[in-house]
A and B are shown apart, each in its own frame.
Chain A
């Protein structure tokens, strides 16, 4: 079975690598993005992975700061997952840049007024912090780790808040321009990150040897966060619909009833919310928990897609959609095969990095009590 997983992973990695090579040699011609829908699958994937990373880290920093003993065993796995998803996210956004070779200008020509600058600075600090934290954790330098978590806790809060603000400050897009976005991103990161950790915990057998009862508390925590997220999301949708100003509701209508309605209703509401909700409301069981957290983690990508794309799919001026008709001047977007191919690479990269981290660290041995 293990061999089969490795073969599948290898195929995904190889197929994806071809896409990355194409991106590096051909440029961005193979993408289906345009001048109007200028952010698509990769930016969605980026914020999805950043959410997973910061959410998982936020959880482990909470465990450390508030000394939540039952969850301490998940701390190492969460650090590795945070680093793997962060590296994958940074690689994704690098590929999305038109001139990735100039990314360092963000440090040499800083613009404090740009939320993107803050995002890069905070992520860089987070990356360094994670590296040191992993180093000290696996060296068992508990004092240093605890100190780093004290810095890391506000930083982990700032990451999703900054991500939400990146969209929230854009006044030109009424769908994004909401004060609730930074808060919503924080809750979303917490939900997706903790769901990922729970899934990994069950997969790697932490749930079976759970004397402290962590896996009895986790379903309740996920359930609470799921309800909080649905509440916030409902507010984002309902407030503009209630207001009935066409300019404000176009993007919301596109999410709910547009050509990709199924991304919201089936992937997000059905698979990512209702089924996990039903599973979590039942008596705690590792398998049910794995399914619930797995579904939440996986389908969370639909939430990210529904944040990024619909806001850009609404013309800012009436008549612009037919003013100059060209492939890259359309207000519709479906990711190209190339984009999916690179996404496959990113997914396999994150899994590969995590696996390597697990293999070369003492996480599994720790669990086995060796």
Chain B
């Protein structure tokens, strides 16, 4: 009898575990499709993400799947009706910088260009000391100081709120870099990490697919010589994939979604009282929110 109960329990337990493991694998496979990770440089197509085969309760329990579902709902709306926002739960951030590296790889960022560094601060005095990690993507400000200073309208705010750089128009004056109160803009000097070695590695010469265009890495060709910044991986987002920093965050500290949708996970987090933004006193109205505690 005891053995039978044990056997029965083990079977249920196994099934539950299998379901959780299966969902996790599925979510991972869906949100980080192998085809996308190892895509050929000349394809812009991302595989479709189908969540309809998963039970709703599983989708709702898994924050990544929930955000994915929210994203699919948002993409059905016209671009102007969306308002992309990001929430960073600093209580969950472990400072692993996986998001920084994922972003570097996704956007093929050269030396000197970083879209999402993680600031590491030591807080308190011994023996009460702790570390605070603050990822800093572009704040995608509602009132971005970088937009009005651009002399050629290369930096502009899209109707979905993303502050974008038109690489084909940017003259590389770097005035916008000086105007950003978050140091969130960087300049591409056309370097490669493996420069000075026998061969500049192929992975550094891959094109990037920012703003849904193919940008080959060639001397004198944009984005070399341009101002560059985080764009919430808009090329992924508009193909139904979450930004690279969201899917790679091991602590589940990064949330992304449409803040115009009240059912969205991100909207729910933003409506909480413990939410804040960086340098809110400047009135730039960032769309990157932080949960401190």
Q: Is A364 an interface residue (CB 8 A)?
A: no
Q: What is the interface of chain A, defined by CB distance below 8 A to chain B?
A: 27-29, 31, 33-36, 38-39, 96-100, 102-103, 105-106, 109, 111, 113-117, 120, 166, 169-173, 311-312, 315-320, 322-324, 326-329
Which B residues are CB-close (under 8 A) to A329?
112, 114, 117, 186
Measured CA separation A171–B146 after assembly (Å): 11
With known contacts A35-B185, A317-B119, A328–B180 Cβ distance under 8 A: no
Q: How far is the CB of A94 from chain B (nearest CB, A)?
A: 10
Q: Taking chain A's interface residues, is the majority helix, strand, or loop, or is none over half, making it mixed?
A: loop
| A-contact 0/1 string along B146-164, CB 8 Å cutoff | 0011111110000000000
Q: Is B94 an interface residue (CB 8 A)?
A: no
Q: Given A98-B187, A111-B148, is A172 in contact with B181 using a C-beta cutoff of 8 Å?
A: yes
Determine the distance from Cα of A120 to Cα of B227 in the docked complex, in whole angstroms: 19
Within 8 A of A (CB), among B36-74: none
Q: Is B107 an interface residue (CB 8 A)?
A: no
Q: Nearest Cβ in chain A — how far from B161, in angstroms?
A: 19
Determine the distance from Cα of A323 to Cα of B120 in the docked complex, in whole angstroms: 6
Among B154, B178, B186, contact of A170 (Cβ-Cβ < 8 Å): B178
CA A173 – CA B183 in complex, angstroms?
11
10 A-B pairs in the complex with CB atoms less than 8 angstroms apart: A27-B219, A29-B191, A98-B225, A98-B226, A102-B152, A109-B152, A111-B150, A116-B151, A324-B114, A328-B187
Interface footprint category on B: 35 or more
B169 (CB) vs chain A CBs: closest residue? A105
A116 to B136, CA, bound (A): 28
Q: Is the CB of A111 within 8 A of B121?
A: no
Known: A99-B222, A114-B148. A27 touches B189 (CB 8 A): yes
CA distance in complex: A318, B178 (Å) = 17
Interface residues of chain B: helix, strand, loop or mixed (majority)? loop
Q: Which of A34, A114, A171 contacts B282 (CB 8 A)?
A: A171
Q: Is the CB of B151 within 8 A of A328?
A: no
* Cα of A312 to Cα of B181 in the assembled complex, Å: 11
B245 CB within 8 Å of chain A: no
* CB pair B191 A320 closer than 8 Å: no
Establish whether residues A320 and B136, one from each chain, have CB atoms under 8 Å apart when the complex forms: yes
User: Could you say which of A98, A100, A111 contacts B151, with CB atoms under 8 Å apart?
Assistant: A111
Whether B171 is near chain A, meaning CB under 8 Å from some CB there, is yes
CB neighbours of A31 from chain B (8 A):
189
The answer to whether B149 touches A170 (Cβ under 8 A) is yes
Instruction: Give the distance to chain B from A319, nearest Cβ to Cβ, in Å.
Output: 3
Q: A106-B152, A114-B149, A116-B173 are in contact. Are A317 and B225 (CB under 8 A)?
A: no
- Docked Cα-Cα span, A28 to B191, in Å, equals 9
Instruction: Say whether B220 faces chain A, with CB atoms less than 8 Å apart.
Output: yes
Chain B residues with CB under 8 Å of chain A are 100, 111-114, 117-121, 134, 136, 145, 148-154, 169-175, 177-183, 185-191, 219-220, 222, 224-227, 278, 282
Chain A nearest CB from B16 CB (Å) reads 41
With A106-B151, A327-B111 given, name 4 new contacts (CB 8 A).
A170-B145, A170-B179, A172-B178, A172-B179
A328 to B181, CA, bound (A): 18
Query: A103 vs B170: C-alpha distance in the bound complex, in angstroms?
Result: 9
Tell me whether A328 and B172 are in contact in the complex, defined as CB-CB below 8 angstroms, given that A29-B191, A106-B152 are known contacts: no
Q: Is the CB of A312 within 8 A of B172?
A: no
**Residues in A neighbouring B114, C-beta threshold 8 A:** 35, 324, 326, 329
The answer to whether B112 touches A326, judged by C-beta atoms less than 8 angstroms apart, is yes
* Least distance between A304 CB and chain B CB atoms (Å): 15
Complexed CA–CA distance, A316 and B173 (Å): 20
In the bound complex, residues from chain A placing their C-beta under 8 Å from that of B219 are 27
Question: With A99-B171, A173-B178 in contact, is A111–B189 under 8 Å at CB?
Answer: no
Q: A170-B179, A317-B136, A323-B136 are in contact. Are A28 and B189 (CB under 8 A)?
A: yes
CA gap between A318 and B134 in the complex, in Å: 10
Bound CA span A311–B282, Å: 18
Instruction: Contact check, A27 vs B169: say whether CB atoms are below 8 A apart.
Output: no
Distance from B156 Cβ to chain A, minimum over Cβ atoms (Å)? 10
Q: Which of B121, B177, B219 has the most CB of A within 10 A?
A: B177
Query: B171 — which chain A residues lie within 8 A by C-beta?
Result: 97-100, 102-103, 105-106
> B190 — which chain A residues lie within 8 A by C-beta?
27-29
| B178, B181, B224: most-surrounded residue (chain A CB, <10 A) | B178
Evaluate contact between A319 and B120: CB separation under 8 angstroms.
yes
Q: A34-B112, A111-B153, A324-B114 are in contact. Are A99 and B226 (CB under 8 A)?
A: yes
Nearest-neighbor residue (CB-CB) of A93 within chain B: B173
CA distance in complex: A116, B177 (Å) = 13
Looking at A28, A103, A317, the one whose CB has the most chain B CB atoms below 10 A away is A317
Measured CB to CB, the closest approach of chain B to A36, in angstroms, equals 6
Contact between A322 and B189, CB atoms less than 8 A apart: no
Bound form: Cα–Cα A77–B177 in Å: 39
- With A106-B151, A172-B145 in contact, do A99 and B119 touch (Cβ < 8 Å)? no
Contacts of B172 in A (CB 8 A): 97-100
Select which of A38, A173, A312, A326 is within 8 A of B111 by beta carbon.
A326
Q: Is B182 in contact with A98, judged by CB distance below 8 angstroms?
A: no
Q: Which residue of A lies closest to B152 (CB)?
A: A105
Residues in chain A near residue B150, CB distance under 8 A: 111, 114
Q: In the complex the two chains form, what is the Cα distance from A35 to B152 in whole Å?
A: 20
Residue of B nearest to A169 (CB): B149
Chain B residues near A326 (CB-CB < 8 A):
111-112, 114
Q: Please name the residue on chain B nearest to A27 by beta carbon.
A: B190
In Å, the complex CA distance between A170 and B150 comes to: 12
B112 touches A328 (CB 8 A): yes
Residues of chain B with a CB closer than 8 A to A312's CB: 178
Question: Closest A-chain residue to B116, C-beta based?
Answer: A324
Q: Separation in Å of the A144 CB from the closest CB of chain B?
A: 32
**Which A residue sits closest to B113, measured CB to CB?**
A35
Give the nearest-CB partner of B181 in chain A. A172
